[in-house]
Structure 1
Amino acid sequence: MRNFEKPTRSVAVSRQAMAATSHPSATLTALQIMEAGGNAMDAAIAASAVQCAVEPGSTGIGGDCFVLFAPEGSDKVVAYNGSGRTPAALTLDWFTERGLTEVPRQSPAAVTIPGAIDAWVQLHTDHGRLPFADVLAPAIRFAAEGYAITPRVHRDWSLEEGLLAADPTAARIFLPAGRAPKIGEVHRQPELAETLKRIAVDGRDGFYTGPVAEDMVSYLRSHGGLHTMEDFATARGAYVTPVTTDFRGYTIHECPPNGQGIVALLILNILSRFEAKGDPQSPDRLHIEIEATRLAYAARDVWLADPDKVDVPVEEFLSEALADRLAGMIDLRRALTDLPPFDMPLHRDTVYISVVDRDRNAVSFINSVFDSFGTGLVAPRSGVVLHNRGQSFSLKPGHRNVVAPLKRPLHTIIPGMVTRAGRVEMPFGVMGGYYQAMGHAHLISKVFDYGMDLQEAIDLPRLIPKSDGTQVEAEHTLPAAAADELRRRGFAIVPAEDPIGGAQAIRIDWENGTLTGGSESRKDGIALGL
């Protein structure tokens, strides 16, 4: 039960349909689409398109998209991988010749072929109900007529002024007064509006061929990129089979690699070896969660890559034996100083959208440009913000995730879905780059181990292990006593530079025929229902 004296908000509760997003305009758009006769897929695509306009730092049509879909309340979950591949001409030698040891952010080398529009069009064709033009109409209106800047959007935008100023198109569109727009100011993106109109009429061809593709390709090549019109014309996402694990009687579904959803399942498998009791913010529980995450992330960094290019040992990753082995390494007296090498098989910007409609179609939808404003490179005539997902590649020869032609990088964005007893239970997702797998596991644990409602679980203080040793970033709201005890056990607890992640979720109450939803208090958004 919520403590009504704490400065937070209640879960949203409704009967017919619900949407939860990180921006009020996107949530309202999703509800309006469903009121107009659209289903949950129509609503999710419309909301994502709106966020590409009103939250341009967090997402865009020049990014990637992953989706889980449970039709008509069933547990037959469909997954779509809308992540893009490298240009056919890009090789590791290109980086070696330039003396690069990592992929630069504001570089065409960080731009894989964007997969979001392919995903939208394919999912709408197969599962949508309204005309595609009607689905994109709200986003076109916001981009053309303008939208008011909300607090979190302003804050994230202002942090990227230097990045945006380095690109003439980005500066012209996103720094119209020589700075980020302030809270309450109105901003417009007329080039994006025209591009969305073209996509609304021509579908994927409106993005991957013709003037829009020509604009992106010529712009990238003018900066030294190797992208071609053929790379765009042949780009395709794919339906894939979800990976799953059982946790406390529920089945948790994630998209398979190249996404890191499998890592969330490994963390849950480790957590399932420990009894959940007492305070979810106790030092013991936090210790277990930190170590489970460190161990799972160490496995991720070695084994996760594009399964079309290398073998990814999914069965070993999700095996009982691996979970037993890793759980057995956790010592509540002290932090692990040496993580296993995994030499045998085994906070970024994104928007996440959760929608359930009257027919109990449930959509878990995530769209991203990775870092805020991605590369900060913007195609001049189409207004497309180009993502920097290629920064997730390794440049180490022989590494599974090493950059290669037509290869997808390790991907952080992961939608989640919960089912039980033949029915869908909850679409959910957590934003935040590499935090996402940890966030998925910990949200699920708080709801199903500790009986917390969605908003309570989302509002809890967050922490995340850093890649260097035992350092852990923690939000300032983490209880001081817990932080002190974790330090005593050998963890280096340091303040988080930014609020950690974001989340949305909707839970279906089949007995009462109702929906409850939670939306991230660290963002501007809201969960609302009909």
Structure 2
Amino acid sequence: MRRRTFLAAVPLATIGLPFARNASAQASSTPLPVSPALPGTRLFPDVHAGDRPVGASFGTRSEVFGRNGAAATSHPLATLVGIEILKKGGSAVDAAIAINAALGFLEPTANGIGGDLYAMLWDPAASKVVGIAGSGRSPRALSLDTVRSRTRNGVLPPYGAVTVTVPGTVDAWWRLHKRYGKLRWAELFEPAIVYAEGGVPLSPVVAYYMNRAMANFARPGQGIEEVANAQATYPSGERARAGEVFRNRDLARTYRMIAQGGRNAFYEGEIARTIEAYFRRVGGWMTRADLAAHQSNWSEPLMTTYRGVGVHALAENTQGLATLQMLNMLERFDMRRAGFQSPLAIHLGAEAKRLAYEDRARWYGDPNFSRVPVEWLVSKEYAAERAKLIRPDRINPTVRPGNAPSQGDTTYFSVADRNGMMVSMIQSNFRGMGSGLVADGLGFMFQDRGQLFSLQPGHPNVYAPGKRPFQTIIPGFATRDGKPWLSFGVMGGGMQPQGQAQIIMNRVDWDLDGQAAGDAPRWQHEGSSEQMGEDDKSIGGTGLLRLETGVPDSTAAALAGMGWRIGPSDGGFGRYSSVERRESGGERVYAAASDVRADGISLAY
């Protein structure tokens, strides 16, 4: 994805930011010498300033401010839905559910009720961060032997029934609404139904990913039993085109059943019967009993501190631990002195990622089936040990998971309300729209999350019937002094912990505002050991470091000189949005931001 040239590793005074940090903010950091070969804080000669009169010159637009509420999503109409629900007196949870339902139609390339959902929220009554894990389980009739028989080159296929797990989204909506909702349940589906029946023009990014997904579904040998049903959720014609009106009346009908019948309409009623009949017909394993047995889990988020900021993550079968592990290691280095967008800062971040992701591949999984050493993985003591493996002047040629002590494609959005509740929600069908399977007349695609199961005997994430697979989707939340500060997220598979860590560093180390923190170019390291099936050996060595367009050429050259294999920008750097809570003269103010990489907007009132 081509983007404008960015300001990088600039003396912070030149963008209106003080360079000095107080001693307490850096108390936990080990000062890092800045090598002449790895320039730290300076103006790169290949950087051209942007044209903004205030803030970071590379910013694409301003944050939006409001006192009563805010919403930031990847589609303008979804953001409008959230604001309208808030104005009607709905809670942030009401708005989040209505946004998510709308996005299931507006952005089916990223999410839908055939997928799973995770959320963290600030509960103002309890004065704490609360989490929910809406993650579905594998069919109980699908055995490990059958799964292994369906692998290709040791890895589960991306499409077809063998990777479909129970969709967790609707149940998570229901439980959130029961606890935090203010408006009637049925009222939350009205905007999505109107859009799906009346039609909306396709946005450019959604049209692009629709075409990519449908090309994959139609490819011979993918093992998709019912391509025709998938095509029923797609615009007419050979290609989806930005601006053409798109409808999904089947999905509108499904939403009406959920609006009228609640959670049970999906998991036990007519929808469940249709799902069971469909999988019986196409040779799948999902049953009505699997659906009826599903329930989401209220989850206590983990927290670490990064230079005094509390960073929260969900541990349950997600990669949220990786964000905390990366930040714990990077806190050992003086990232401010290393320099924004400098070779040194990116090198340190990529090395921390490599170490955290080796642990991700070895230890993460469903805690109901394996004892995951969570406390050890996110401890400061373990981070200090791992940080010693990071050299500022060279790449660690070999990284491995730590030795634990003995012991018994995605949508993200953020919304906040007038009562101080802030919701960070992420929801996904996983890879490329999902499995390619759409039950007759229901209008939504099933996720293919089961592809993330491991097939290695004894692994915490090895496939088992009735088990939740390792999950890539993770919401983000940060607090200051025990108070809510930032509801944020970065979409995109394995990019998510890397992106979250970069956002926190942009905010904390380099004092960027919420919009500039998301506008800043990103890096992504590929080639760590993987969770699904067997490790991907195709990249090899120390992996591939992709730099987004906008990272200075001199930074890329310096990283290549250190031995990093630099990959081209492929547009896979995630999509971000955030809502920040600030104080102005004792009054609450929300500042919302959205991502230039997506079609969406942020609004506040």
State if a TM-score over 0.5 links the two structures: yes
Indicate if the aligned counterparts of 2:59 and 2:519 stay in contact, CA closer than 8 A. no
Which residue of 82, 86, 94 corresponds with 2:146?
94
Following TM superposition, by how much is the alpha carbon of 1:159 offset from its aligned partner in structure 2, in angstroms? 1.3
Q: Partner residue of 2:549?
A: 476
Partner of 2:594: 519
After superposition, residues 52-67 of structure 1 pair within 5 angstroms as 52-67=104-119
- Give, in whole Å, the separation in 2 of the partners of 1:217 and 1:448: 49
CA distance in 2, matches of 1:203, 1:469: 51
Taking the TM superposition and a 5 Å limit, the aligned residue runs for 1:283-432 are 283-345=343-405, 349-432=409-492
Secondary structure of 2:133's aligned partner: strand
Structure 2 equivalent of residue 234 of structure 1:
293
Aligned positions of 1:434-473 closer than 5 A: 434-467=494-527, 468-470=540-542, 471-473=544-546
Equivalent of residue 232 in structure 2, options 169, 172, 196: 172
C-alpha deviation, 1:124, in angstroms: 0.6
Q: Write the distance in 1 (CA, Å) between the matches of 2:92 and 2:283.
A: 41
Question: For 2:336, what is the secondary structure of its paired residue?
Answer: coil
Identify which range, 399-408 or 221-230, moves more after superposition.
221-230
Residues 1:345 and 1:51: Cα distance change in structure 2 (over 3 Å): farther
Say if 2:101 is the partner of 1:33.
no
1:382-426 Cα offsets, whole Å, 9 max, x none, are 112111111111112221111101111111111111122232111
1:73·1:362 contact (CA, 8 Å) conserved in 2?
A: no
Give the Cα separation in 2 of the matches to 1:112 and 1:21. Answer: 26
CA distance 1:18–1:74, shift in 2 (3 Å):
farther
Does the residue aligned with 1:198 lie in a helix, a strand or coil? helix
Classify the secondary structure of the residue corresponding to 1:335: coil
CA deviations over 1:296-349 (Å, ceiling 9, x no partner)? 011100000000000100011011221011111111211111002434349xx1
Q: Distance in 1 between matches of 2:578 and 2:500?
A: 11
Question: Structure 1 residue 483: deviation in Å?
Answer: 0.8
- Out of 169, 183, 197, which is 1:144 matched to? 197
Task: Note if contact 2:59-2:516 (Cα within 8 Å) is conserved in structure 1.
Answer: no
Query: 3-state DSSP class of the match of 1:32?
Result: helix
After TM superposition, the structure 1 stretch with the greater mean CA deviation from structure 2, 53-62 or 413-422, is 413-422
The 5 Å alignment of 1:218-229 reads: 218-229=277-288
Shift of 1:74: 6.2
Partner of 2:98: helix, strand, or coil? Answer: helix
Question: Residues 27 and 210 (structure 1 numbering): CA distance in 2 closer, same or farther, change over 3 Å?
Answer: same
Contact kept, 8 Å, 1:499 with 1:522, in 2: the verdict is no
Aligned to 2:68: 16
Partners in 2 of 1:251 and 1:98 — Cα distance?
43
Q: Which runs of 5+ in 2 are unaligned?
A: 1-14, 17-49, 219-223, 528-539
Residue 433 in structure 1 maps to residue 474 in structure 2: no
Give the Cα–Cα distance (whole angstroms) in 2 for the partners of residues 236 and 282 of structure 1.
46
Q: Map of 1:47-126 to 2, 5 A cutoff?
A: 47-72=99-124, 75-98=127-150, 100=152, 101-126=154-179
Deviation, structure 1 residue 10: 1.0
Tell me how far 1:7 sits from its aligned partner.
6.7
Partner in structure 2 of residue 205 of structure 1: 264
Deviates more, 1:300-309 or 1:439-448: 439-448
Number of residue pairs aligned between Structure 1 and Structure 2: 527
Contact 1:164/1:175 (8 A) holds in 2:
no
Q: Secondary structure at the match of 2:557?
A: helix
Q: Percent identity?
A: 38
1:502 aligns with 2:575: yes
Which stretch shows the higher mean deviation, 394-403 or 404-413? 394-403
CA contact (8 A) 1:19 1:353 kept: yes
Q: What is aligned with 1:186?
A: 245
Q: Secondary structure at the match of 2:455?
A: coil
Q: Does the Cα contact within 8 Å between 2:58 and 2:520 map onto a contact in 1?
A: no
Tell me if the contact between 1:73 and 1:424 (Cα under 8 Å) persists in the aligned partners. Answer: no
Structure 1 38/325 Cα, relative in aligned 2: closer, same or farther at 3 Å?
Answer: same
Q: What is the CA deviation profile of residues 352-398 of structure 1, one whole-angstrom value per residue up to 9, with x for unaligned ones?
A: 11111111111111111111211121112211211111111111222
Deviation per CA, 1:478-524: give whole Å up to 9, x if none: 21111111111111011132241011111111244211111111000
323-332 or 336-345, which deviates more: 336-345
Between 1:5-14 and 1:501-510, the stretch displaced more is: 5-14
Residues 62 and 88 of structure 1: CA distance in aligned 2, closer, same or farther (over 3 Å)? same
Superimposed CA distance per residue, residues 222-265 of structure 1 (whole angstroms, 9 cap, x where no aligned partner):
33211111001111111011111011112111111201111100
Quick one: distance in 2 between partners of 1:515 and 1:228? 44
Q: Is the 1:249–1:420 contact (alpha carbons within 8 Å) kept by the matching residues of 2?
A: yes
Amino acid at match of 1:88: R
Cα offset for 1:128? Answer: 0.7
SS in 2 for 1:386: coil
| Structure 2 CA distance for partners of 1:212 and 1:440, relative to 1, 3 Å | same
- Residue 99 to residue 466, structure 1, CA distance change in 2 (3 Å): closer
Q: Cα deviation per residue 1:78-119 (whole Å; 9 max; x = unaligned)? A: 110001000112222112334542221111111110000000
For 1:149 and 1:103, locate their aligned partners in 2 and report how far apart those are by CA, in whole Å. 32
Matches of 1:7 and 1:449 in 2, distance apart? Answer: 17
Which residue of the partner structure matches residue 154 of structure 1? 207
Secondary structure in 2 matching 1:411 = coil
Deviation at 1:6, TM superposition (A): 4.4
Q: Report the TM-score, using the length of structure 1 for normalisation.
A: 0.96
Judging changes above 3 Å, is the alpha-carbon distance between structure 1 residues 7 and 276 closer, same or farther for their aligned structure 2 residues? closer
1:8 match: secondary structure: coil
Amino acid at match of 2:79: T
- Determine the structure 1 residue equivalent to 2:20: none
* Contact map agreement 1:75 1:419 (CA 8 A) in 2: no
Of residues 175, 181, 187, the one that matches 1:128 is 181
Question: 3-state SS of the aligned residue for 2:432?
Answer: coil
Which stretch has the larger CA shift, 510-519 or 277-286? 510-519
When normalised by structure 2's length, the TM-score is: 0.85
Query: Which range is displaced more, 264-273 or 391-400?
Result: 391-400
| Distance in 2 between residues matched to 1:291 and 1:99, nearest whole Å | 32
CA separation in 1, counterparts of 2:76 and 2:235?
23
Task: Name the SS of the counterpart of 1:161 in structure 2.
Answer: helix
User: What is the distance in 1 between the residues matched to 2:102 and 2:148?
Assistant: 40
Q: Does 1:252 align with 2:311?
A: yes
